[in-house]
Structure 1
Amino acid sequence: MNPNSDKMNLKKQLIITLIFLLFSNTLFSQIESKGIPYIKNYTRTDYDGNNATYSVIQDKRGIMYFANQTYILEFDGKNWRKIFIPGDPNIYSLAKNNEGTIFVGASVGELGYLYIDDTGSMKYKSLKNKIPEDKQQFTLAREVIKGPDNEMIFITPLTLYIYQNDTIKTIDVEKPENRFVNPFEVNGKIYIQEKGLGIMEYKNGKLSLLKKTEFFSNKWVVGMFGIPESDKINIATWQDSVYNYNKGKIKSINENSLLKSLYKTAKYNSKYYVGGLYGKGLIICDKNLRVIKHITTNNGLQNNTVFSVYVDADKNIWIGTNDGISVIYANLPYTVFSSFANLTEAVYTSIKFKNNLYVGSSVGIFYKNFNKKNSIDGGKFKQIQIPQGSVQIWKIDTINNTLLAASSMGLYLVNNDKAELVGPDVSVKSFININGKKNTILATGGNGLSLFKYENNTWKYEHTVKNFKGNFRHIEEDSDGSFWISDRSKGIFRLKLTPELDSVITEQEFTEKDGLPSTFGNYVYKINNRIVFTTDKGVYIFDKKTQKFIKDPEFHEIFKRDIKITNLYQARNGNIWFKEEIKDPKIRTKKYWELGEIITKNGKTEIIKKPFYKVKNRINSINQISDNELIVGTESGFVLYNLNSSKKFEKPFLALIRKIEIIKNDSLIFGGAFKNDSGQMVLQQNPDKIPQIPFEFNDLRFSFASVFYEEPEKTKYKFILRHNDTQWSDWKSKTDKEYSNLDPGTYTFIVKAKNLYNVESKTAEFTFEILPPWYRTFGAYLGYFILFILFIYGIIQLSIARLKKQRENLKRIVEERTKEIQIQKEEIEAKNETLSAQNEEISQKNASITASINYAKRIQEAMLPLKEKISKGLPENFILFKPRDIVSGDFYWYAEKDGKIIYTAVDCTGHGVPGALMSMIGSEILTTIVNTNGITKADVILKKMNDYVVKALKQEKEGLSQDGMDMALCVIDKENKTVEFAGAKNPLIYITDGELKTVKASRNGIGGYQTEEKDFKSEIIHYKSPTWFYMFSDGYQDQFGGPQNRKFMIKQLKKLLLDIHYKPMEEQHRILNEVIEKWMENTPQTDDILLIGFKL
């Protein structure tokens, strides 16, 4: 591979990367002069490596690389990897060319570059074979630098190795005793010190001595710094001085002793340089090499010997030390004052007064000169000694050009480095200057309310206000002269005092009944000269008309939702700062705090939170100390924020897929880097390089990261596997995802990151294909097709052979059958003559039988009672009688005896002729029981009926005939208006007042063998006119028919009777007949049908 080739193929990728880097480089250029920037230290335990790190570089993706003695560390913000070099030489230098290829200089004659292998992993490629044989022995390539024509220059003590166009040329020192030392790039020019000669300029493949730099021949040049808009160069030397070089003129310009310990340097931007010191930490200098920041183990570093410095694309400063790696976030608009500044405890208040910054903490008052000329190491705060010892300070403020502090031991007057107690040693939590009385303050605390006055250039305690007790944290004065006080655990009170301010006149306590969302957790503040209250549900105000608390319309319009505000602070420019308490949505007991700023410009209001996510912890206080400085008090010191910051936190960054593995055998599919056809690193996958994974390895693990190095542990990720997942995952901190049993198909894994500022990254994508199992491949399907064709062919051949044989057999059979048919024909003709004669005889017999049955029908009809007789006793009645055959097994019977009417509907076993015979027996028995024996009791009639049938059909023994009948029988007494009913399986239905009622029958039928005596019961119905009665056999409800050929059913019959009962009897008869005929339609009649109705 030639890493310098095919530059044009990289044009698109380089443009994207260049825009990315240019955007990031213009984001923020100001380094804060006060305090110490945030620092992250990585120990040997973190990266499991060696002590010393000699060089640092970043690739075009943003991945960091570290020359960590015997191997190169690769870091993506989450995971560390190691890149090994054969022979384990010490690695001293890393640099990259215009295409982004990283070159490596090492010891024992080793130099080369990093390349991307076929799995996407970074590997080392040696260039030793490109070196002329007589130049292959050298001790170490201490430095490597990119030349003006994109050549890579490896610096060894005696020889320069220049790699270009896949070849290596060499340049030796002018004298054997001379030594090449350090290379430098200044304003696009390359300078290399040749110790013993001077500073050489490398140009067009040659070295030339820079004018009069023999002065430096025996010095060790450690830094060369171009001065903007000038040909001048500042040159730093080891343990000597800094010299200004101007076209041959040289003079010493800086005697800062720290510069004598410079070991490595890097350009931060056009205004600043960074210098690593040997044994003394790191310095940040301005363009004139004036030290503005000195960072050591005393204020954040883990080791003071700095071997390498590097400024990444985000303007983070990476340093490799003699023991560990550190990153300094110098591009942020805030710095820290904590333990290094003698501030180890929580800070609750702060103020700048007469060039000193005073902070009140949980252990006392600290102060420090805080003008523009601040200490380069951040400086330490001094603690003001208080006679009462350690005290907690809640508020520091200036009144009448004096500094007062409210503390757990009382009110203190602070004067430079001294604090004098004013009044009793009882806690004071807050105080305010009373309107119109600039020499008077009212304080809250352990004594309730206390009054202090300023007289004779000092403050004096006046008295404790009477009629009030309570230790409150906040106090504000309203426009009407009343005072509002609050405390998180005590609620809100409004007090009115006497004109002399010596006593409370009225005291009002406010709770939830007064409109507050909660009695506790409320604070009072004065914003824009208005009294407002922060609560669990947002900001409230007090409506004096209704005497109720209501949501403040102004703040509600700003926040648009209910939020818990615990601090409000109005800055000098009118902007409002607030602290919001937020509960973790997953762990309700866990909470954190966010700082926000409300800005109003051109009539538009917006909330700014993004810059302050860095201080998302215990925010205790917010105080502006100058026009451009804001202090945020935390649990251990404070954070200083530059209000004039122009840093853009929305800077884009990359999410990266770092590794894809097969779970079953941990084999690597993708190592994290994409390359083009020339082997150069690109940011997207080549669409022609889609890996194909065998089906048996369809369980995959994806690992991912993002190149945002500021608190990377707070970065969250979401992902989706196209063709498998239906939606994106939730945001999670986890940086890997496993998928099992993926079906054959093409998939794209997509991941996105979100950093601690809630800025989302660009997506990273990787496409791959899961191949089908062997039995679903094209070859397998082709095989299946061939086998299918052969199978069909075999079946066809077998069928042809079978058909041939069948045809031969058929021919033989046809011949045999033809002979048989001829014989059978003759036999059939003879039989036909016999059958014709028999048929004539059968027809004559059928005609005779039918005539007999019709005669039986006339006998049965004669046996039935006359309808005229029935209509005389029951004027309103109908009889629906439909035999299935010519004669019927159902019959009805009517008689009048002793002033009563006996009426019954009977269903005999069977139908047709057998049924008709049973009906004749039944009719004769009824005549005997009622007319001859004179029995008119319904249950007795059924009992007698059963006895006669058993005897008549000889059913006294088991196994004989089981024939019998079901019946419903009514004994009607019109005079007493009663109907006595008894039934054998068949019920009685009657309808009165529009309500249908059913009288159940006995479960016993009439006739049949019996083991014990049958019991029939009667029921007497007292009716009122009109009442309709219905008796029937089972033929109507059991008739099949309708759309689904089902039984008509008793339920439907009851509904029909209820629907038509009020109609005349003849009309009911017609309707019932039409309904059952329509129901049967093409279905044969199942049974005899009998349905009797009468009205009383």
Structure 2
Amino acid sequence: MSLIKSYFSILLVMLSFHLLGQEKKIGLPEIKNYNRIDYKGDTQIWQINQDKRGNLYFANNKGLFQFDGSSWRKYALPNSGFIRAFKIDDSGKIFVGGNAEFGYFKPNSKGKMKYYSLSKLINKNATKIISIIWKIHSYNDEIIFQSFTNAYILKNNKLKILEAPYRFQFSFKVGSKLYFQDHKKGLLEYKNNKLVPLEGTTILNNKEIWAIFKLPDNKLLIETINNGLFIYDFKKILPWKTEANEFMIKNGALGGTTLKNNLIVLNSATNGIIICDKKGNIIQHFNKKKGLQNNTVLTSFEDNKNNIWLGLDSGIDFINENSPIKYFGSNHGISTVYASVVHNNNLYIATNQGLLYHSMKDIFDDNNFNLVSGTSGQAWNIQVVGGQLICSSNKGALVIEEGKTVNIIDSNGYISFKLIPNKPNYMIGCNYTGFALFEKVSNKWKYKNKLEGFYGYPFSFQIKNSNLWFQLDNLIYKATLSDDMKRFKSIKTYKNLSQRDKGIRSIQQIKNTIYFQKNNHFYKYSEDQDLFYEDKKISNLFKNIPEITEIKEDDYGNIWYTFKESLGALMKNKNGTYNNIITPFSNLTGNLVSNFLSVNTMNSENTFIGLTSGIAYYNLKQKNNFEVKPKAYIRSFSYPGDTLILGNGQKELENYKIPYKSNHVKFSFSSPTFENLENVEFSYQLEGFDKKWSSWSNNNSIKEYTNLREGKYKMKIKVRNSYGIQSDEALLTFTISPPWYRHTLAYIIYTLILFIIIYLIRIRIKIKIRKSKYYERLEQRRLYLEKETKIRQEQYELEKEIEKLKNDKLKTKILAKDKELVNNSLQVAKKNKVLNTIINKIKDINIDNFDEATKTQFTKLNRSIVKEVNADKSWQDLEKHIKNVHYDFLKRLKEKHPNVSSRELDLATYLLMNMSTKEIAEIMNISTGGVELARYRLRKKLGLNKKENLTGFLMSI
């Protein structure tokens, strides 16, 4: 009975939650901050608007800033003054107003914004000096520029002045009507070129109006800066007694805007903005604590995707109201969330800081989540088991009631708990050392015993009959409980689910059946056959889904799964079919807690999802347009010498032609998709150059190509938003003209030149053939003469060779004769030597003892020998012959070494003739020692060192 009461209580909470959800919004959407460094302007933003292509514009103290989702552009007034107001018309003109200046920006043919002043049309001598333009309106066919002193009306390119009765404050266009506030006349309606006072509005003369909104029943909601909000029924003005009014009185009002869903944004001076309905109930509140850059909001704007832009006193903020995902994060005191549950009208979340909770009654307030006493530290899980709220944490298994720890069942650290099927009074808990059994006694859980036989802790487990199934180290474990439930009587492991699917990815329970999953194939276990077999029906549900890592079925039959750090869901229909939903959860990619898929589906519309940095709230029924195709634009096209800004309202050409010298082109891309810009990705292809599309990237909004050849090119670009929705292609066609030397006219000239060259070559060939024949005859004649000359030359060479051979033979004979002559001369010298010896010995004979006849004969013999010696002239002939034969050698030697004596010349000649030292000594009639001395003196005069050969040197001369 208590279990029924518990579920009934939860149902009531869900119902109240659902009803509250119709009025107030839970959690915070994504908020993106842009500071002055991002857009490179001044701090204050005065007005925001959007053109037909989705580009956003911001009025700033430094000028008008344009943001296309990828880049910022600045358009300044000539006097570099600030811009307080602007208006974009359908033609692309942007009317702007600043300090003593107003006019409009209009794109030229190249898309560059050019400013045209209208204030110069005013005769400044005929009226008051123009002050600051605060408001600009498009009313019927007029453009109205409003300052505090006058309104300047532009119609049919003519300007006229509407003077203030006393002094204008601000003006407001509400629906099809235009209202002015005058400091003495109250509210005035502008119609038929006149200002008509409204009844009962002079009560506002001392109250500065910043905004007027249209309410049902033909009423107006008037917002004053310091006095709050008032209702006007065109007869009287009464305070709007609502919580929105109380907020604005307390925090000061600075205007606002009406949203398409009939809600109103009210800007405050000191506490951000509130979003309220037209009954004054506050739906949402955003301030600095919740993510804004500061609390002073000067302007607000809803874009074409129903998201909110805020112009602050310092910077720009973007609120992604269109997203079905909202967040509770660090601004609510939350870190990593592992599990969540709603119990007794409280939302509990298990985090790495402990178990936190927040009352569902004030879930919309700014208050932080509170820490459940006694749970500080790591909390792994929070579950309602058997009607009791149990927290699995480092500090043990804790029983929680009304935000407090009322009992510690077991002090061991626990991961999770599960009831044993068919035994509702028993549950099993997984702790850091294994498993433990708990029993319900007197409606309270009590620790019973540890389950012996297993040590370790898996992150999750499933129970069927008496078997516990879990995975650990890529193995499947089946642990079977003993009958007394004190231990595991057996533990069996399985490596593979099948031959095809090795190992295990996840174990989960779907439709009260345990499934084992690998590669998106789902298996059941057969107890009888002890094997796993595939359930084709469940596998087919995930056939077209990426490989799954974790799966969880919620209480409504929806199947949640994770893949590649992303989240998806198979939402169950009433007829039992499923719708696969991935897109809304794309922004959660990378923020899910690994191995702890935390999905808390409270009802068919509201779900809480645990993240690494808080908890996300998903509203399935929230209307949004995130599945609308984004639009991709080629924002600029530039090349050396020129830049084209595309999409500023100018008439765009179908084909751009650029010269070949400017074949270095650059493109910038954009998409007016401002949600989760860091996940917006571009892909491009230059047809004619790239063979395929580039890979998706969020860092390629600019692309350059260099040294392109001439030809026609088509630049194609597409974008994919953060939800994975892909745009249609955007195209830009351009042609690069060829260089002059590859131009068509150049090729015609080349062809003509080629024909002329061929003609000239043909003529030249004919002339060359004639000349060739002529020269051929000459060549034949030349060859004949050359051959004849060669024969004669060969004859001459032969004769010369013969003559040389003759001379060589003669020289050989002469040398032989020289040698023979030398030998003969040596023989004569030997003979003379013998004769001289005989003469000397004869002189030693005493002839006194001879008789006269003998003396006479002896004397006659002596004279005869002496005569023979003196009469021999062979030696003189030898010297003469040698000098004649070696005349040239002696001449060269004398020229080179003039200090060589005639005696040394003779020695050089004998050495040249390769005569031995003994032979030279005999010829020169000196001793062998004298020959060596003579050689030494000759070497010295010739300047030879000891290592140089004298004979070789002489032969080289």
* TM-score, normalised via structure 1 length: 0.64
Among residues 267, 288, 291, which one is paired with 1:276 in the alignment?
267
The answer to whether structure 1 residue 769 and structure 2 residue 717 are counterparts is no
1:505 Cα offset (Å)? 2.4
1:783 Cα offset (Å)? 6.3
For 2:476 and 2:193, the matched residues in 1 are separated by 81
In structure 1, what is the equivalent of residue 239 of structure 2? 252
Q: For residues 589-628 of structure 1, what are the structure 2 equivalents within 5 Å?
A: 592-600=565-573, 602=575, 604-620=577-593, 621-628=598-605
Deviation digits for residues 985-1041 of structure 1 (CA, Å, limit 9, x no counterpart): xxxxxxxxxxxxxxxxxxxxxxxxxxxxxxxxxxxxxxxxxxxxxxxxxxxxxxxxx
Where 1:565 maps in the other structure, the secondary structure is coil
Q: For residues 121-160 of structure 1, what are the structure 2 equivalents within 5 Å?
A: 121-133=112-124, 134-135=126-127, 137-147=129-139, 149-160=140-151
| Structure showing greater Rg | 2
In structure 2, what is the equivalent of residue 472 of structure 1? 458
Structure 1 contact 613–757 (Cα < 8 Å) conserved: yes
Among residues 313, 325, 329, which one is paired with 2:320 in the alignment?
329
Task: Decide which moves more: 350-359 or 557-566.
Answer: 557-566
In structure 2, what is the equivalent of residue 433 of structure 1? 419
Counterpart residue type for residue 159 of structure 2: I
Among residues 490, 506, 515, which one is paired with 1:506 in the alignment?
490
In structure 2, what is the equivalent of residue 298 of structure 1? 289
In structure 2, what is the equivalent of residue 658 of structure 1? 635
The answer to whether structure 1 residue 223 and structure 2 residue 211 are counterparts is yes
1:78 Cα offset (Å)? 1.5
Q: For residues 395-474 of structure 1, what are the structure 2 equivalents within 5 Å?
A: 395-474=381-460
Deviation digits for residues 508-544 of structure 1 (CA, Å, limit 9, x no counterpart): 2222387695556x44322101012344655443233
Counterpart residue type for residue 184 of structure 1: F
The answer to whether structure 1 residue 346 and structure 2 residue 319 are counterparts is no
Where 1:34 maps in the other structure, the secondary structure is coil
For 2:45 and 2:65, the matched residues in 1 are separated by 9
1:754 Cα offset (Å)? 1.0
Where 1:193 maps in the other structure, the secondary structure is strand
For 1:486 and 1:308, the matched residues in 2 are separated by 57
Counterpart residue type for residue 671 of structure 1: I
In structure 2, what is the equivalent of residue 836 of structure 1? none
In structure 2, what is the equivalent of residue 743 of structure 1? 709
Residues 614 and 542 of structure 1: CA distance in aligned 2, closer, same or farther (over 3 Å): same
1:786 Cα offset (Å)? 8.2
Where 2:539 maps in the other structure, the secondary structure is helix
Among residues 103, 106, 109, which one is paired with 2:98 in the alignment?
106
In structure 2, what is the equivalent of residue 757 of structure 1? 723
Structure 2 contact 684–716 (Cα < 8 Å) conserved: yes
1:408 Cα offset (Å)? 2.0
1:337 Cα offset (Å)? 0.1
Residues 562 and 550 of structure 1: CA distance in aligned 2, closer, same or farther (over 3 Å): farther
Residues 513 and 76 of structure 1: CA distance in aligned 2, closer, same or farther (over 3 Å): closer
In structure 1, what is the equivalent of residue 348 of structure 2? 358
Deviation digits for residues 814-872 of structure 1 (CA, Å, limit 9, x no counterpart): xxxxxxxxxxxxxxxxxxxxxxxxxxxxxxxxxxxxxxxxxxxxxxxxxxxxxxxxxxx
Residues 135 and 611 of structure 1: CA distance in aligned 2, closer, same or farther (over 3 Å): farther
Counterpart residue type for residue 729 of structure 1: S
Deviation digits for residues 387-438 of structure 1 (CA, Å, limit 9, x no counterpart): xx62322221213332111112211110112013433310111111222333
Structure 1 contact 410–427 (Cα < 8 Å) conserved: yes
Structure 2 contact 305–625 (Cα < 8 Å) conserved: no
For 2:620 and 2:370, the matched residues in 1 are separated by 26
Residues 485 and 392 of structure 1: CA distance in aligned 2, closer, same or farther (over 3 Å): farther
1:339 Cα offset (Å)? 0.9
For 2:389 and 2:632, the matched residues in 1 are separated by 51
1:225 Cα offset (Å)? 1.6
Deviation digits for residues 342-371 of structure 1 (CA, Å, limit 9, x no counterpart): 11x210100111211011111211111124
1:782 Cα offset (Å)? 7.0
The answer to whether structure 1 residue 569 and structure 2 residue 552 are counterparts is yes
The answer to whether structure 1 residue 635 and structure 2 residue 612 are counterparts is yes
The answer to whether structure 1 residue 285 and structure 2 residue 276 are counterparts is yes
Where 2:678 maps in the other structure, the secondary structure is helix
For 1:523 and 1:745, the matched residues in 2 are separated by 56
Among residues 623, 643, 646, which one is paired with 1:672 in the alignment?
646
Deviation digits for residues 703-741 of structure 1 (CA, Å, limit 9, x no counterpart): 111111112222222222233334333323311222233
Counterpart residue type for residue 643 of structure 1: L
Where 1:340 maps in the other structure, the secondary structure is helix
Task: Decide which moves more: 267-276 or 454-463.
Answer: 454-463
For 1:708 and 1:432, the matched residues in 2 are separated by 45
In structure 1, what is the equivalent of residue 527 of structure 2? 544
In structure 1, what is the equivalent of residue 667 of structure 2? 702
Residues 352 and 129 of structure 1: CA distance in aligned 2, closer, same or farther (over 3 Å): same
For 1:674 and 1:106, the matched residues in 2 are separated by 22
In structure 1, what is the equivalent of residue 198 of structure 2? 210
Among residues 504, 508, 515, which one is paired with 1:532 in the alignment?
515
How many residues are paired up?
Answer: 737
The answer to whether structure 1 residue 56 and structure 2 residue 36 are counterparts is no
CA RMSD in angstroms comes to 2.9
Where 1:612 maps in the other structure, the secondary structure is helix
Among residues 20, 25, 33, which one is paired with 1:33 in the alignment?
25
For 2:760 and 2:487, the matched residues in 1 are separated by 117
The answer to whether structure 1 residue 483 and structure 2 residue 475 are counterparts is no
Structure 2 contact 219–233 (Cα < 8 Å) conserved: yes
In structure 2, what is the equivalent of residue 1077 of structure 1? none
For 2:592 and 2:523, the matched residues in 1 are separated by 22
Among residues 680, 690, 695, which one is paired with 1:715 in the alignment?
680
Among residues 58, 65, 69, which one is paired with 1:77 in the alignment?
69
1:788 Cα offset (Å)? 8.3
Counterpart residue type for residue 542 of structure 1: Y
Counterpart residue type for residue 514 of structure 2: I
1:336 Cα offset (Å)? 0.6
Deviation digits for residues 568-626 of structure 1 (CA, Å, limit 9, x no counterpart): 2223332211112x2xxxxxxxxx33333344564644421111101112313111123
Where 1:495 maps in the other structure, the secondary structure is strand
For 1:563 and 1:774, the matched residues in 2 are separated by 55
Among residues 190, 195, 220, which one is paired with 1:233 in the alignment?
220
In structure 1, what is the equivalent of residue 300 of structure 2? 309
Q: Which has the higher helix share?
A: 2
Deviation digits for residues 159-181 of structure 1 (CA, Å, limit 9, x no counterpart): 11122222222211112xx2x22
The answer to whether structure 1 residue 189 and structure 2 residue 196 are counterparts is no
In structure 1, what is the equivalent of residue 229 of structure 2? 242
Counterpart residue type for residue 258 of structure 1: F
Counterpart residue type for residue 573 of structure 1: Y
For 1:546 and 1:516, the matched residues in 2 are separated by 19
For 1:703 and 1:516, the matched residues in 2 are separated by 48
In structure 2, what is the equivalent of residue 727 of structure 1? 692
Structure 1 contact 121–673 (Cα < 8 Å) conserved: no
Where 2:290 maps in the other structure, the secondary structure is coil
Where 1:129 maps in the other structure, the secondary structure is helix
For 1:31 and 1:697, the matched residues in 2 are separated by 60
Residues 513 and 72 of structure 1: CA distance in aligned 2, closer, same or farther (over 3 Å): closer
Deviation digits for residues 279-321 of structure 1 (CA, Å, limit 9, x no counterpart): 2112111122322211111111111111121111111111111
In structure 2, what is the equivalent of residue 1055 of structure 1? none
In structure 2, what is the equivalent of residue 12 of structure 1? none
Q: For residues 934-1013 of structure 1, what are the structure 2 equivalents within 5 Å?
A: none
Unaligned runs of 5+ in 1: 1-28, 583-591, 676-680, 807-1096
